[in-house]
Structure formats: C-alpha cells, structure tokens
Chains A and B, each alone.
Chain A
Amino acid sequence: MTDVADRAPRSSPSGEPAISAWGLTRAFPSGLALDALDLEVYPGEVLALLGPNGAGKTTTVRLLNGVLAPDAGSSRVLGLDPATEGHELRHRTGVLTENAGLDDRLTARENLETTARIRGFDRRTARQRTDELLERFALTERADIAVQGASTGQRKRLALIRALLHEPEVLFLDEPTSGLDPAATRDVIALIGALASEHGRTIVLCTHFLGEAGRLADRVAVLHRGRLQVAGRPAEIAAQMWTGLPVEVDLGGPAPEAVVEAARSAAGVRTADATPAGIHVEVGGRDHLPDVVSALVGAGAAVFAVTPRPPTLEDIYFEIEARIAAEEGRPVGATS
C-alpha cells in the first residue's frame, strides 16, 4: 500500500498535454459507456484510470487511439485527432489490451514479427527488433514455441513487447497485471515504472488494482459508470476529501470507552474510534498529536506507538465509491 503523499511526482504538468479530451462521449446499444470525459495527461506522466469493470476505461483507450469514434466531444493525442488521424496516431502509440491478444497458433516470434511488419518494419529490422526484445524480456527460449503453452505472465510480457516494438511515445496499458501471479505482477510493475521513468514515455494505465496505480501513477482519474469522478495527484485529491490527519494509536489492545472519550475531548481531535490495537483518531494536524497523547495517558492508557497514516489510494477510491453509493441511495459495495 502506498501513501499518496510519500512519493515525489515523476513529472510536473508543463507545456502542451500529450493527451487532452473535452467532453468525450460514447454510447453503445447497451448504454452510455463514457459521459463527457475531460482529461489531460502531460508528456512523461503516468495517469492511472481507475474504476470498476464497466466504468469506461477500455472505451476511453479505444477512443483515444482512434479505434472508436466519439458520439460527442473531441480529443487530441500527440497533437493528432484520433477520430480523423487515427492511422497516423497509431504509428506513435502502443497498446497493451486487457487480453494479451496473441494468436495461440503462432509462435512468440511470429506474433511479434507480424506486428512489426504491419508497423512498417522491413523483414530484417522486424527480426532484429523482435530478437532484441525477446532477449531483453527473458523470453528467447520461448521464441519459436507456439504461444498456446505460454503462462499468463509470459503472454503479458509478449504483449508488452508487441506494444513496445516501435518505441511508442504514448503507451496505453489496459489491466497490465490482471491474471498474473505476485512475482509476475512485481516484474511487470517494475518494468512499467522503468518505461515511464527512464524513457519519459506518457503512460495511461487502466486498472482496478489500486496498489499498482499507487506505485506507478503520477496522477489518477477515477471513472464510475462512464463519468469522471475526480482527477489529480492522489495527495491533492486526498487534501480535497479530508482536511484532517488520520492517526493510529497503539494501546496494546482495544481502547476502553473512557479512553476514547478522553481522546475525543483532546484539542484538535475530530473523530476518535476504538480499534483492535487501540484507537484511531483524526486530528486537524500533526501539532495536535502531543495533546492527544497527553489525554490518553491522563485517562490511564499506555501508549506504545503513534502513527500518522495519510490516506492511501485505497482510502480515496473507496471514499469516492461510498459517496457515489450515498448519492444513489444504495449500500456501499452493492452493484448499482
């Protein structure tokens, strides 16, 4: 779990955005998939598009890469309009689809060389580039074996190689770690981090794995049923959502009611609740922590540790979900 405030931003929004969308809307016979999306992603930035299944993440990628046409609104990616200049744009973008999209009957090399040839590489360059990347991604031993027998992790890596064959300026990664075991997930996350930080590539990462987004993204955008709920740096979003500082106090066991009451009466304390390990309080700021500790000690509690816990991306995400559920008048977690 990554705190939203403990990682320096990879890049600062500056200059022209690599990706802009204004009022991007798309409906299917089954309903509205994307509703007036406004979005900006700056060069070298990693943006995580978060949301449950059906939130509109994949539709967003398809619209931004010119695969789908918008019903309303417009967008620019690398200065090009995906709706009218999609062909030119797709020379400069790479996409990892949620399903690896490899032909099982072909070998890894055949899958990759086909893509390279479609991308305009001559036969020799296609072979060289494929060999080079297979080696770099430790897949050389699988090069001439049909993809059918490859593990999910190997498939994802192959699909990632395919997306990187032409060194794209913008990379769309749709659920890059879904179906992977923990070790493969770690490898893929490390690789994506390297792709972003070492090469200044703009990355749009669609995921519902919040840990992954927390580790990789400079900014996040949360989609729900096609609508953008919030976008920004996680710390900024957290600051908008909560003005206080959550703190975990270890008392060696659940706080008795009298201790909880004592905490509530301390200066700067907004909320206080017993937890299995002690007490959780939300204070106005770090300055109030000594008062909280004094109040607890004064009430007879033994304080073993006081740990400020800034909100995580999970906190932000589930708070947004809870607020949406409250607006819709349904219990949190129930399907809308």
Chain B
Amino acid sequence: MTAPATRPSAPTRPTGRNWGAIAAIIKKDLTAVRRSKAVMIPMLAVPVLLLVILPLLIGLAARAQTGDMSSFLASIPDGLSEPILALPAEEQLIVLVNGYLLAPLFLIVPLMVSAVLAADAFAGEKERRTMETLLHLPIENRDLFIAKLLGAFLPAVAVSWVGFLCFCVVANTVAWPVMGRIFVPNSLWLVMILWVAPAVATLGLGVMVRVSVRARSTQEANQLGGAVVLPLIFLAVGQSTGLLLLDLPVALAIGAVIWVLALALTIRGARRFTRDQLATRI
C-alpha cells in the first residue's frame, strides 16, 4: 500500500447553491433507501393497500352488490349525498368510496412517505454514524438541508402521483362494467393530488426535521413524529361520518392551512439546521 502521489485536477467551486453536491446527496440517500427493505416495505405497502387493493375490492363489491345505499346516504350531509343519490343505485357505492371517502385517506401516502424518508435522511444519518462525515465535507448548511429536504419531498410526491395514477386505472377499470365511464379523477381528487398532497408531504418533512434534530435513531424519530398522522385520521373519519364535509372549497382551504403550517415548520427547521447544532447532538 503506497500513498497516493498525484493531485487531482482542482474541483470546481460553485458559488450560490451547489446543485452538484445537492444532487449527489439526494442520489446517495435514495440509493440507500431503495436497498433498505425496512424502509421500502412499509413505504410501499400503504399506497398499494389504499390505492390499488381498496379500489379493486370496492369495484368488485359494487359489481356484485344488490343492496340499497340510499338509507346510508341519507345519514350523511346533503352536500355530499345529493349528487351521489342522483346516480343509479349500482354506481353509488363506487362513487361514494372511490370518489369521495378515499380522498382524505389518500393523504396518508405523501405524509407517510415523506416522514419515513425524512427520518431516514436526518435521524438515520446519526444512527448510522455517517452524519459527522457529511459535516466535515465542504457543503453549506443550507445546501445540505435542501438536499435532505428534496430527497424526501420529491419521492413522496412522486409516489403519491404514481399511486394516484394506479388508483385511477384500477378504479376505472374494475368499475367499468358498472359505471361505463371514467369517474376518477374528479375535481376533489385533483385538488387533493395537486394542492393538498404536496402540502401534506411538506408537513411530514417539517415535523420530521424538527423531531430528528433531537432523535438519535430513525425509530425514535418515527415515534416522536407519528402524532402528525392524527389530523389526517380525523379528516378521514370526519369525511366518512359526515362530521366534516370535504368538498372542493374546504379541500382548498385545508390545503392552504397545511401549507402555512408546513412552511413555518420547515423554515424554523432550516434556521436550526447548523453544523454546530448537528455536531453537538451526534
């Protein structure tokens, strides 16, 4: 073993955001996550369950159903039930579940994916004892933060959108014999996908960034950050029981509130994301 003799050509030192370094960290994190079954299995199981298996079962149930949905629909608010009651009886179950009730539940997907990836990216680096190595490299605090953020946000949105495409294909295909037309996406779904889902992904990130500063392991971060899923469960329960009618204006408003919360959390997290803070808690 001999010492290296040649000095490599001087690397370029970009000014402003160092997108090369940011891309390298995102690539590293995603490659590592892709190879981790412990991260991948839960991250993909929920979208598959919610966006493929559930609409499949609902579609098959609707094709076989003989019961009348009108008594159930009469118990939920008029704003939601009236357009569904106007549909033929055999379409009502499919439109109710796949068109409306699943929409808030779907938000678990971007939230969970972003939270799992953020916990791996922030707390996971500490757990694997790789954080100190990163801190000794010439990357600005802000660039490191952006890399970690994008490394969780982009896959969360991508999984949500790809999952939604799968949902549309499965829901429309299975229900075709009953519906005879494409019924999702409707306007509520489009707002969920394009406006609320990215906001929820950012919220998951914001919470995990805060939690991960203190947590020393991914598991600890997930436990501390797990409470963030509660408002979504409330949203889903509210929608299904009629306590909260998630129609288009409400969805837009909820999305705006989540964006404000998510950005506030993320910006505060960014301010505290310094080498000194991170190195102190390694």
Contact yes or no, B8 A101, CB < 8 A: no
Contact yes or no, A118 B137, CB < 8 A: yes
Give 1 or 0 for each of A145-169: 1 = CB within 8 Å of chain B CB. 0100000000001010010111100
Contact yes or no, A104 B275, CB < 8 A: no
Give complex CA distance A120, B21 in Å: 7
Contact yes or no, A117 B136, CB < 8 A: no
A167 closest partner in B (C-beta) = B7
Q: In chain A between 109 and 146, which residues have their CB closer than 8 angstroms to a CB of chain B? A: 110, 113-115, 117-122, 125, 129, 132-133, 136-138, 146
Given contacts A101-B130, A105-B32, contact A164 B4 (CB under 8 A): yes
Given contacts A67-B135, A133-B4, contact A103 B140 (CB under 8 A): no
**Residues of A contacting B130 with CB < 8 Å?**
101-103
Contact yes or no, A91 B2, CB < 8 A: no
**Residues of A contacting B9 with CB < 8 Å?**
125
Give complex CA distance A91, B25 in Å: 17
Give complex CA distance A182, B136 in Å: 28
Contact yes or no, B14 A120, CB < 8 A: yes
Given contacts A68-B279, A69-B276, A117-B24, contact A106 B4 (CB under 8 A): no
Give complex CA distance A159, B137 in Å: 13
User: A17 contacts the other chain (Cβ, under 8 Å)?
Assistant: no
Contact yes or no, B5 A198, CB < 8 A: yes
A194: shortest Cβ distance to chain B, in Å? 4
A177: shortest Cβ distance to chain B, in Å? 14
With a 10 A CB-CB cut-off, give which of B5, B9, B13, B133 has the most chain A CB atoms: B133
Which among B12, B31, B139 is the interface contact of A110 at CB below 8 angstroms? B31
User: A95 contacts the other chain (Cβ, under 8 Å)?
Assistant: yes
Contact yes or no, B27 A28, CB < 8 A: no
Give complex CA distance A137, B1 in Å: 6
B36 closest partner in A (C-beta) = A105
**Residues of B contacting A159 with CB < 8 Å?**
133
B247: shortest Cβ distance to chain A, in Å? 44
B34 closest partner in A (C-beta) = A105
**Residues of A contacting B275 with CB < 8 Å?**
66-68, 86
Contact yes or no, B138 A118, CB < 8 A: yes
B275: shortest Cβ distance to chain A, in Å? 5
**Residues of B contacting A167 with CB < 8 Å?**
4, 6-8
A118 closest partner in B (C-beta) = B21
Contact yes or no, A90 B136, CB < 8 A: yes
Give 1 or 0 for each of B240-282: 1 = CB within 8 Å of chain A CB. 0000000000000000000000000000000000011001100
For chain A, which range describes its interface: under 10, 10 to 19, 20 to 34, or 35 or more residues? 35 or more
Which among B1, B11, B25, B279 is the interface contact of A119 at CB below 8 angstroms? B11
Contact yes or no, B137 A119, CB < 8 A: yes
Give complex CA distance A99, B129 in Å: 7
Give complex CA distance A117, B24 in Å: 6
**Residues of B contacting A136 with CB < 8 Å?**
1-2, 4
Contact yes or no, B35 A105, CB < 8 A: yes
Contact yes or no, B28 A87, CB < 8 A: no
Contact yes or no, B280 A28, CB < 8 A: yes
**Residues of B contacting A303 with CB < 8 Å?**
none
**Residues of B contacting A164 with CB < 8 Å?**
4
Contact yes or no, B1 A138, CB < 8 A: yes
With a 10 A CB-CB cut-off, give which of A66, A86, A101, A118 has the most chain B CB atoms: A118
Give complex CA distance A65, B138 in Å: 10
With a 10 A CB-CB cut-off, give which of B14, B24, B136 has the most chain A CB atoms: B136
Q: In chain B between 8 and 26, which residues have their CB closer than 8 angstroms to a CB of chain A? A: 8-9, 11-14, 18, 20-21, 23-25
User: A267 contacts the other chain (Cβ, under 8 Å)?
Assistant: no
Contact yes or no, B136 A65, CB < 8 A: yes
Contact yes or no, A110 B28, CB < 8 A: yes
User: B64 contacts the other chain (Cβ, under 8 Å)?
Assistant: no
Give complex CA distance A195, B136 in Å: 20
**Residues of B contacting A162 with CB < 8 Å?**
133
A86 closest partner in B (C-beta) = B275
User: B132 contacts the other chain (Cβ, under 8 Å)?
Assistant: yes
With a 10 A CB-CB cut-off, give which of B2, B4, B25, B28 has the most chain A CB atoms: B4
User: A227 contacts the other chain (Cβ, under 8 Å)?
Assistant: no
User: A315 contacts the other chain (Cβ, under 8 Å)?
Assistant: no
Give 1 or 0 for each of B32-49: 1 = CB within 8 Å of chain A CB. 100110000000000000
Contact yes or no, B21 A190, CB < 8 A: no
Give complex CA distance A91, B21 in Å: 13
With a 10 A CB-CB cut-off, give which of B3, B27, B132, B139 has the most chain A CB atoms: B3
Which among A62, A106, A121, A146 is the interface contact of B28 at CB below 8 angstroms? A106
Which among A101, A104, A118, A166 is the interface contact of B25 at CB below 8 angstroms? A118
A residues in contact (CB < 8 Å) with B: 28, 62, 65-69, 86-88, 90-91, 93, 95, 97, 99, 101-106, 110, 113-115, 117-122, 125, 129, 132-133, 136-138, 146, 157, 159, 162, 164-167, 187, 190-191, 194-195, 198-199
Known contacts A66-B275, A103-B32, A106-B28; 18 additional CB pairs below 8 A are: A28-B280, A62-B135, A67-B132, A91-B138, A99-B132, A101-B129, A105-B35, A110-B28, A113-B24, A118-B24, A119-B138, A120-B11, A120-B21, A121-B8, A122-B12, A125-B9, A125-B11, A166-B11
Question: Can you give 11 contacting A-B residue pairs, CB < 8 Å?
Answer: A68-B276, A69-B276, A88-B138, A93-B136, A101-B130, A103-B128, A103-B130, A105-B36, A115-B133, A119-B11, A191-B1
What 10 A-B pairs come out closest when comparing CB atoms?
A120-B11, A101-B133, A117-B24, A194-B3, A90-B138, A95-B136, A105-B32, A167-B7, A118-B21, A114-B28
